[in-house]
Amino acid sequence: MTNEDYSEVMKKYDLESNTRIWEGKWLTAVNCVMAVFSAYCILATLFSRAALEKRLTLFLGLVVLMGFLNYPASKKHVRPNSMPWYDVVIMLAGFASFLTYYFRYDSLVMTLSSSAKMTPFLAAVGLVAILSLIELCRRCVGVPILCVAGALVIYTFASGKNLYQVLHTLFYTTNGVFGTPAQVCAKFIVVFVVFGAFLERTGISAFFIDLANKIAGASAGGPAKVAVISSALCGMVSGSSVGNTVTTGSVTIPMMKKTGYDPDFAGAVEAAASTGGQIMPPIMGAAAFLMCDYIGQSYGKIAVTAILPAVLYFTGIFIAVHLEAKKKNLKGVERSEQAPWIEFLKKMYLLLPLVILVWLVASNTRTMQFSASVAIIVAILVSLFDKENRITPKRFIEAMAAGGKSTITVAVACAIAGIIAGCITVTGLASMLISGIIKASGGHLIIALMMTMVCCIILGMGVPTTANYCIMASTCAPILVKMGVPMMAAHFFVFYFGIVADITPPVALAAYAGSAIAKGNPMKTGVNATKLAIAAFIVPYIFAMDPSMLFIDATAFDVVQICITSIIGLFGVAAGVNGYLYRTINPVLRVLMAAGGLMLMYPTTVTDIAGIVVVGAVIAIQYFSSKKETATA
């Protein structure tokens, strides 16, 4: 596939890629404007002492301005260096509405203590601002989240609230567009998004792919293992399932097909591994920053908590890939085609920005936004040692512009998620949902978990991970907490299932992007991706029922035991799902193998012993059967 083909894949499955076409001087001008926007966001979060509402108002106003500058009404009607008059009108009207609130904030904060003091003019200002956000959301995020928000707004009116009350809540308080999601976006996410843009330009993605190839490329089915490792590493930087699938998939998927993997399997491997990048510490996805605010824990604590589930996720995919390679007798790449280790040692300095970031965040001596800002400076300095990827003034502007553009979609999704959360709060829907699900589940935690999982996956099929998490954190996470699940485990549960929606049919965008590159069947690719990522469907249930997997109330011995038994259990599950171990496993033994694996993954001594016995027995039977088969042959 050519670069144009990859661009088309991105545009088809990732709305963020459907942007206006700016060329020549216009492109330079737009990039400069976007770079200034990123610079403002970083400086504001580091140094501004203005009132929270004023900072958020100006931030979202600039997001509207930048958003319409980049995203057309439809990708079918885009001409180079062209912006229709109606887009200019909507852009300026939306920006003016936010500016009106910004400049009149000091007087409005005293008079708008309730919706009773709303005037037609203030109502019009709020309505225009919200409508401009909605239209921008349609362009760069998608319609599904607007359907959720629209349904809740209608429900809010149906519950007896009038227009003034709704607009007052959603625009003139911090319970709507300026709620927790937007606050976290403006405070933390922006700086980390810009950091990711700089990190990508240091050549670290290519370094990760080459390093993964050196580690696993020569083993059985090596290219698929390279895809798993490189996608896990690159996914920390990109934070986008589709973006990561296309970026690393453009290298790994052709390698997998050349090795002998089926196109549907090759696309699935890349999609499953790329999606998991959002749960891979230390950066994880933007939703992790929201989690800090929702549950009141430090980012370092959340990153540490996420380590074991993330390791299990990628270990499960790695094992499945290895078993598939053994089943089909697939070889790896020749060692002569790999660069010597000395070449990688020379480029280890590329990891310095990540190391500095992890150290600063873990030490809790500085704020997260300050830590990310320092990491950006380190990334720039690191690039100076590589002529090919050196960040020149032009590349600096491009990186800042790319960070600003990525901020738009996250900020808009957060603002709409704030509207959803505001409607849930003002109508008291959250308490009604809690009561309803507890009643429907009959007080059984496993049923409540299953219902929550279905909600997360359905919502996540068309809603970005960040917005999905915001909605589920406001609705379903409190239900699980009410039923005795620790808060950290409850929020991780909804976070995980919001992410795996990207590879769960029928709307599995990451899997579809992988199938487009592999030229396979989209639905088969989605099914294979779901099977490969089986750990993501099992692990959340385990840590919800026993949070020791998240190192909550666990001793050092517990942690070691959990790590060992979980990995062995994951091997059992993967072998049972794949159906191969030394030789093809018969259906009965497959079921036993998977059951034994599940017992090992549930962190209790009794289930661990039972699981070891079952998995060990099946492994022994398979081993001696294969030996006998070989001897007979």
pLDDT given for residue 58 in this prediction: 95
One domain, residues 170 and 208: no
The answer to whether 248 and 269 are in contact (CB under 8 A) is no
CA-to-CA distance for 574 and 505, rounded, in angstroms? 20
3-state secondary structure of 364: coil
User: Does 278 share its domain with 365?
Assistant: yes
Q: Evaluate whether residue 59 is within a structural domain.
A: yes
Q: Is the domain of 221 the same as that of 363?
A: yes
Q: Give the amino acid at 423.
A: C
Q: What is the dihedral of CA 133, 137, 138, 141, to 10 degrees?
A: 180
In angstroms, rounded to a whole number, what is the distance separating the alpha carbons of residues 485 and 446?
A: 11
Q: What is the dihedral of CA 113, 175, 155, 450, to 10 degrees?
A: -150
The pLDDT, as a whole number, for residue 378 is: 92
The Cα 107–Cα 583 span in angstroms is 76
CA dihedral 495, 499, 501, 502 (to 10 degrees): 170
pLDDT block averages, 10 residues each, the chain of length 633: 60 68 91 95 90 92 95 80 92 96 85 76 94 93 88 92 91 90 89 86 79 77 78 67 77 83 88 84 75 85 86 87 84 71 81 85 79 90 86 91 90 91 86 81 86 83 76 84 90 89 82 87 89 87 85 81 87 89 88 92 86 93 86 73
Selection from 241, 267, 189 nearest residue 14 by Cα: 241
236 shares a domain with 117: no
Domain identity same for 356 and 241: yes
Residue of 334, 314, 130 lying closest to 229 (CA atoms): 314
Say what the pLDDT of residue 61 is: 96
512: in domain:
no
Residue 163 lies in a domain: yes
Counted domains in the chain: 3
167 and 202 together in one domain: no
For residue 603, what pLDDT is reported? Answer: 73
Task: Indicate whether 218 belongs to any domain.
Answer: yes
Residues 45, 55: Cα–Cα separation, whole Å: 9
Enter the tokens of residue 63: 């997001």
* pLDDT value of residue 8: 66
Q: Burial, 258: exposed, middle or buried (Cβ in 10 Å; 0-12, 13-18, 19+)?
A: exposed
> Within a domain: residue 497?
no
| Distance of alpha carbon 529 from alpha carbon 573, whole angstroms | 15
pLDDT for 433 equals 79
Spatial CA neighbour of 46 closest among 156, 145, 188:
188
- Same domain? For 402 and 308 the reply is yes
Question: Is there a single domain that holds both residue 130 and residue 268?
Answer: no
Half-sphere exposure of residue 172: CA atoms within 13 angstroms, side-chain side: 30
* 295 located within any domain: yes
Q: What is the rounded CA–CA span in Å between residue 459 and residue 498?
A: 8
Do both 385 and 251 map to the same domain?
yes
Select from 368, 389, 406 the last residue of a domain.
406
Lookup result for tokens 């049919």 = 505
Gap between the Cα atoms of 212 and 222, Å rounded: 9
Task: Count H helices and E strands in the chain, helices first.
Answer: 31, 2
Per-residue b or e along 4-19, where b marks 16 or more CB atoms closer than 10 Å to that residue's CB: eebeebbebbbbbbbb
Residue 7: predicted pLDDT: 63
**Domain range holding 624?**
555-633
Please report the pLDDT score of residue 145 as a whole number.
Answer: 87
19 and 156 both lie in a single domain: yes
Last residue of a domain, one of 406, 432, 448: 406
Same domain, 632 and 590: yes
Q: Is residue 501 part of a domain?
A: no
Out of 144, 176, 208, a domain closes at 176
Is residue 295 located within the same domain as residue 367? yes
Is 632 a domain residue?
A: yes
What tokens appear for 146 in the block? 């607007």
